[in-house]
Amino acid sequence: MNEGLYDAVFGCGEDKVDPFISTSADFNRIISDMRLVGYEINAFNVAQQIMLEQLDAMLKFKGKIIEFTMNMDNRDDFCREKYGLSFKDIDALDPQHDIEWDIKSGRVIFYLTAEAVHKESAYMILFKKSFDAFKTRTGFTYTSV
């Protein structure tokens, strides 16, 4: 990332804190995509772009499960055996609305909304591997509220 872009994203001055220090995201692609749609280049919007990609991946995974099991007579049993959750529990997960993120103390954190906290165990059952890979790849931190 060039210095001008760095300053635009992380702010000017002596106390720069880089919330993406351990992120291996493709910043050139992300910034390019953001410029195409006219987003302001700042740390929160970059984090949002990275999070939206993760949420999209989660929605696609959930969608594949629903599509695969839609016409099954025993979809609850199948889902419980294969994924550890009932079909109804999987269908109730809505990453786009259940997960929020922010930048606090120079770190990007993501968490379940207050309305979705009761779904945390279901998220951890279905998306734990995805969360862990995402945290490793981005350096973002999941926190329970």
| Backbone phi and psi for residue 20, each to the nearest 5 degrees, phi listed first | -110, 20
Predicted local confidence at residue 1, as pLDDT = 46
Per residue in 31-56, pLDDT tens? 888 889 888 888 888 889 999 999 99
Predicted local confidence at residue 90, as pLDDT = 97
The arithmetic mean of pLDDT across residues 89-116, rounded, is 92
Q: Is 19 exposed, middle or buried (0-12, 13-18, 19+ CB in 10 A)?
A: buried
Determine contact, residues 63/117, Cβ cutoff 8 Å.
no
